[in-house]
């Protein structure tokens, strides 16, 4: 019996049993969307909405997120492709060689995970396992005691700050003209959401607290990465090799000049958008920036195309799921159900209890809907209306809902399975540690968005 399997059996306690129960109890996202559909439709019928009205609202909602679906698909696709580039891997490896102590390794892994995730959530989720592998490998080479499974969770926990980063789904949506709630809440600039004092405070305090918690709670007898040979081999893997170009067209698609020509055009548009027009970051300018960075990091169209082809598998659920979520959102938004739920939430809330209640509501939905954009599609209308009824800003409601969204991600096994799969480790080996960081995220988030300006 391997050291890993023996250690896993010894650690099978209440946290592991909880994670197994969650894995059996929580349905996949497609099934959950159908369950939500029938619950919401039944509720709309129960308050007196005629069946024809429910069907019409469902159809109106079903395709209202077509532009948003493509925007989020590109965020996921380009972020995944960027994370596989040799340049990005080289940067991660160089940073991992810097720490000379366990504290340095933990701090470096958490800070790097938080930094890349703040720039782009898909990049953070894709790189967090790789960051842990590189830092754990370099630590073991130097004789530094670092527990690899715990470091993996710490890097993933640090990546949670994406909720208030440059690719945060809901803030970017409401900052983009033409979004699906513009008629009721208008366009909300990022300075009121992710760049508000409350959001900045949360990002800084949570990240620093993650480092302190990780250093304090790391097992005193660490299980180093050499006990996980499949994980260790990740840093040895490179992009698939390609044959030498044989024709003029093949040489052209692999030549940097054609790629640089497109990059120049993209860079010119970004300059016009930000400098000449003075426009702020929105979901379209973010995707343009991502496309530019991904093209530059891969160097030519052939390498870029191969990376995107391999990354497509990470984006396919959004293409279908967001329309199913939109159908549910349509029933909420285009029948009296949404207004009644918002009035109920506003009636039981005060400015001091609203962030807590919104966080808890967001957590429950996030366990079944593991998508920030999908959750905003479902809960955005209710959250906005109930925030106004409770006497707080829509921005505060959006930010509190984001706390709940990430809390659900840290409590349910969905993202742990993905992170563990990338790192090639059993998710049950790491899930229990995630609950520590979930508690930290909850406390810092509720305090930030209850008492600080937003």
In a domain, 268, yes or no: no
Least confident of 7-16, 44-53, 366-375, 431-440: 7-16
More confident residue, 286 or 160: 160
Least confident of 19-33, 36-50, 328-342: 19-33
- pLDDT, mean of residues 385-410: 93
In a domain, 138, yes or no: yes
- pLDDT, mean of residues 127-134: 92
In a domain, 247, yes or no: no
The three-point CA angle 177-180-185 to 5° equals 75
Q: What does the alpha-carbon distance between residue 383 and residue 393 come to, in Å, rounded to a whole number?
A: 10
* Whether the predicted pLDDT of 365 surpasses 90: no
In a domain, 53, yes or no: yes
In a domain, 96, yes or no: yes
Best CA proximity match to 215, nearest among 367, 103, 71:
103
pTM of the shown model: 0.78
Identify the residue whose tokens are 């509190």.
400
pLDDT in tens, 142-200: 999 999 999 999 999 999 999 999 989 899 989 989 888 898 899 999 999 999 999 99
Q: What does the alpha-carbon distance between residue 296 and residue 301 come to, in Å, rounded to a whole number?
A: 10
Phi, psi (degrees; rounded to nearest 5) at 180 = -70, -10
**Residue 333 lies in domain:** 13-236+281-451
The three-point CA angle 419-423-427 to 5° equals 55
Which of the four pLDDT bands, split at 50, 70 and 90, describes residue 255?
confident
Say how many domains are in the chain.
1
* Whether the predicted pLDDT of 79 surpasses 60: yes
In a domain, 265, yes or no: no
Give 451's contacts (C-beta < 8 A, 6+ positions apart).
none
The first and second tokens of residue 408, run together, are 């659900």
Quick one: pLDDT at residue 122? 77
| Widest Cα–Cα separation across the chain | 70
Q: What does the alpha-carbon distance between residue 157 and residue 400 come to, in Å, rounded to a whole number?
A: 18
Which of the four pLDDT bands, split at 50, 70 and 90, describes residue 292?
very high
Which of the four pLDDT bands, split at 50, 70 and 90, describes residue 377?
confident
* Whether the predicted pLDDT of 15 surpasses 60: no
Quick one: pLDDT at residue 12? 42
- pLDDT, mean of residues 90-117: 95
In a domain, 67, yes or no: yes
Q: How far is CA 67 from CA 113, 183, 247, in A?
A: 29, 17, 38
Q: Please, is 382 exposed, middle or buried when counting C-beta atoms within 10 Å of its C-beta (0-12, 13-18, 19+)?
A: buried
In a domain, 97, yes or no: yes
Q: Are 417 and 22 in contact (CB under 8 A)?
A: no
Dihedral angle, C-alpha 261, 265, 270, 273, nearest 10 °:
170
Best CA proximity match to 55, nearest among 31, 79, 37:
37
Least confident of 29-43, 180-194, 225-239: 225-239
Which of the four pLDDT bands, split at 50, 70 and 90, describes residue 4?
very low
Quick one: pLDDT at residue 5? 46
* Whether the predicted pLDDT of 18 surpasses 70: no
85 alpha-carbon distance from chain centroid? 20
* Whether the predicted pLDDT of 49 surpasses 70: yes
Using only the alpha carbons of the chain, give its radius of gyration. 23
Q: What does the alpha-carbon distance between residue 349 and residue 382 come to, in Å, rounded to a whole number?
A: 13
Identify the residue whose tokens are 């005060």.
350
Q: Are 410 and 435 in contact (CB under 8 A)?
A: yes
């Amino acid at each position: 019996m391997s050291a890993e399997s023996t250690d896993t059996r010894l650690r099978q306690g209440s946290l592991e049993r909880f994670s197994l129960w969650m894995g059996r109890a929580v349905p996949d996202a497609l099934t959950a969307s159908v369950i939500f559909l029938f619950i919401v439709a039944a509720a709309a019928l129960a308050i007196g909405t005629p069946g024809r009205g429910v069907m019409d609202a469902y159809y109106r909602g079903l395709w209202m997120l077509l532009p948003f679906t493509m925007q989020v698909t590109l965020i996921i696709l380009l972020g995944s492709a960027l994370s596989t580039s040799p340049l990005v891997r080289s940067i991660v490896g160089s940073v991992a060689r810097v720490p000379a102590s366990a504290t340095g390794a933990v701090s470096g892994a958490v800070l790097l995970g938080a930094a890349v995730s703040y720039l782009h959530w898909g990049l953070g989720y894709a790189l967090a396992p790789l960051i842990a592998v590189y830092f754990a490998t370099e630590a073991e080479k130097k004789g530094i005691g670092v527990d690899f499974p715990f470091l993996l969770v710490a890097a993933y926990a640090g990546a949670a700050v994406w909720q208030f980063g440059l690719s945060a789904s809901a803030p970017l949506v409401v900052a983009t003209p033409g979004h699906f709630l513009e008629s009721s809440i208008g366009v909300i600039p990022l300075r009121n959401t992710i760049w508000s004092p409350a959001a900045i405070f949360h990002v800084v305090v949570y990240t620093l607290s993650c480092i302190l918690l990780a250093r304090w709670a790391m097992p005193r007898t660490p299980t180093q990465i050499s006990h996980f040979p499949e994980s260790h081999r990740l840093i040895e893997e490179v992009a698939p090799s390609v044959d030498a170009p044989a024709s003029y067209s093949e040489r052209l698609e692999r030549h940097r000049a054609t790629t640089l020509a497109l990059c120049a055009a993209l860079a010119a548009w970004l300059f016009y958008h930000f400098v000449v027009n003075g426009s702020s970051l929105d979901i379209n300018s973010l995707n343009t920036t991502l496309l530019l960075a991904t093209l530059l990091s891969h160097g030519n169209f052939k390498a870029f195309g191969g990376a995107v082809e391999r990354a497509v598998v990470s984006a396919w659920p959004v293409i279908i799921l967001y329309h199913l979520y939109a159908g549910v959102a349509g029933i909420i938004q285009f029948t009296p159900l949404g207004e009644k739920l918002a009035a109920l939430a506003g009636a039981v809330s005060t400015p001091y209890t609203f962030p807590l209640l919104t966080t808890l509501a967001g957590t429950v939905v996030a366990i079944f809907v593991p998508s920030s954009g999908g959750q905003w599609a479902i809960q955005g209308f209710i959250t906005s209306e109930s925030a106004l009824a409770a006497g707080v800003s829509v921005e505060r409601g959006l930010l509190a809902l984001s706390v709940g969204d990430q809390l659900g991600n840290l409590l349910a096994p969905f993202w742990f399975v993905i992170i563990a799969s990338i790192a090639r480790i059993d998710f049950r080996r790491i899930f229990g540690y995630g609950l520590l960081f979930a508690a930290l995220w909850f406390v810092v988030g509720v305090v930030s968005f209850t008492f600080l300006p937003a």
